[in-house]
Amino acid sequence: MTLRSRQAEQPEWREPRAFEAAPAEQAQGTGRSRQAEQPEWREPRAFEARPAQQAQRCRVRFSKLGKIRFTSHRDVARIWERALRRAELPIAYTEGYSPRPKLSFGLALSTGYESHGEYLDIALRDASGDVELDELPRRLAPALPEGIEVQAIVALPAGAESLQQAVTSCTWHIDVGAALPAAVAHATAAALAAPELVVTRQRKGRSVTDDVRPAILNAEVFGGTTIEADLATQPRGLRPAEFIATVDPTWHAARVTRISQWTQVGGARREVLDLPRAATPPPHAEVRAS
C-alpha cells in the first residue's frame, strides 16, 4: 500500500446533519488528528424545479433497549435515516442544496441510557396517502437493529406541536447500583423535602447557579437502589445525572431508563403517545434485552 492510499483512508469529513430540533451533541469525529478535513462547500443547485412537497407527518414511538443503548443520539438519527430508506418509505426531503430526509427527533437520550419511549416525527411525501400507518411497525421491524422497536405510530394533525415543545417532563428509572438501599431512601426523601436545591451547573460553558428543586416533580424509591423520578424538561430541565449528583454527589448511576415522556393536556399530564394496553411495559420491571 502506498503512502498516498494510506492517507486516503483517513476519515472523510462529514457535514453534521441538520435535524430539526436536534439537540447540540458533540460532533463525533472518528478522525485521526493528523489531517482534519474541511467541509466541502456546497454550492446552491442550479434552478432545478422541484415539486412542492406537501408533507404528511407521523409520529413514531420506539424503544431503545439492550446493547444498542451505547449508540449516541446522532447514531440513532443515522440508523433511522437508513432504516426508512431500507423500508422504502416515501420520506419527504428538505428542499435546497443538500437534501436531507425530514426527520425530527425529540429530546436526546444520553449515550448509555435505555428507553421505553423515544419519539420521532417523520414527514412523508404527499403522494404517500397510500401508506398504511398500521402497517408501518411491521414494515420497519426488519429494517431496524436489534433493540430498537417501533411501538406505535400515529398521523400528526397539521400544526401539531413539535416534540421539543410538547414534552414537559420525563419519568426515569435510575439505578444507583453500589449505594445502600437505606441511604438511597433517606437521601431521596431529603431531596424531596428540601424547599430548594441550589446547585452550580455548567451551561453553555458558563457556571450557572440555580435552584433545581422545581424540576424534581416526584421521586420515589423502589426495588432497593432504583429511584423512579419525574424530572421536568422545561422551562428549565434537569437531567438524570444532574438529579443524582444533586441527591448525593457520591453516587454513580449504574443504569438509567426513560420510562415515559409527558405532555400537558388541560392541566393533566399525558403520554405523548399512549401504547396499546398489552404493549405497556410493566411499571417497575427491569427490562434487560442484553
Residue type, 241: A
Inter-residue contact 102 to 20 (CB < 8 Å):
yes
- What the block records as the C-alpha cell of 222 is 423502589
Please work out the total of residues on this chain that contact another protein, with binding judged by CB under 8 A. 53
- Shortest Å distance, C-beta 93 to another protein: 7
Residue from 109, 103, 111, 215 nearest 168 by CA:
215
What span, in angstroms and rounded, lies between the C-alpha atoms of 99 and 94?
5
Which grid cell sits at 70? Answer: 451505547
Nearest residue (CB) to another protein, 98 versus 280: 98
* 10: contact with another protein by CB under 8 A: yes
Stretch that binds another protein, among 51-59, 142-150, 193-201, 209-217 (CB under 8 A): 142-150
Toward another protein, which CB reaches closer, 42 or 186?
42
Nearest to 119 by CA among 173, 93, 159, 156: 156
Contact flags string 11-40 toward another protein, x per CB under 8 A: xxxx-------------x-x-xxxx-xx-x
Does the protein bind another protein through residue 81 (CB under 8 A)? yes
Restricting to residues 50-69, which ones interact with another protein according to CB under 8 A? 67-68
Q: Which of residues 17, 25, 57, 79 is near another protein by CB under 8 A? A: 79
Pattern 157-196, another protein, x by CB under 8 A: ----------------------------------------
**Which residue reads 421505553 in cell numbers?**
116
Stretch that binds another protein, among 70-78, 193-201, 204-212, 213-221 (CB under 8 A): 70-78
Q: How far is the CB of 43 from another protein (least distance, A)?
A: 4
Q: Is 200 in the site for another protein (CB under 8 A)?
A: no
* DSSP per-residue string spanning 227-278: EEEEEE-TTT---HHHHHHHH-TT---SEEEEEEEEEEETTEEEESSPPPGG
Q: Provide CB contacts within 8 A for 257, sequence distance 6+.
A: 113, 114, 115, 116, 172, 173, 174, 287
Strands (E), 130-204: 148-155, 167-175, 198-203
Q: What share of the chain is helix, strand, coil (3-state, %, to 5)?
A: 25, 30, 45
Does the footprint of another protein cover residue 127 (CB under 8 A)?
no
Q: Does 74 bind another protein (CB under 8 A)?
A: yes
User: For another protein, which residue of 22, 58, 83, 184 counts as binding (CB under 8 A)?
Assistant: 83
Q: Which residues bind another protein (CB under 8 A)?
A: 1-14, 28, 30, 32-35, 37-38, 40-43, 67-68, 70-72, 74-75, 78-79, 81-86, 88, 93, 98-99, 111-112, 143, 145-147, 254, 290
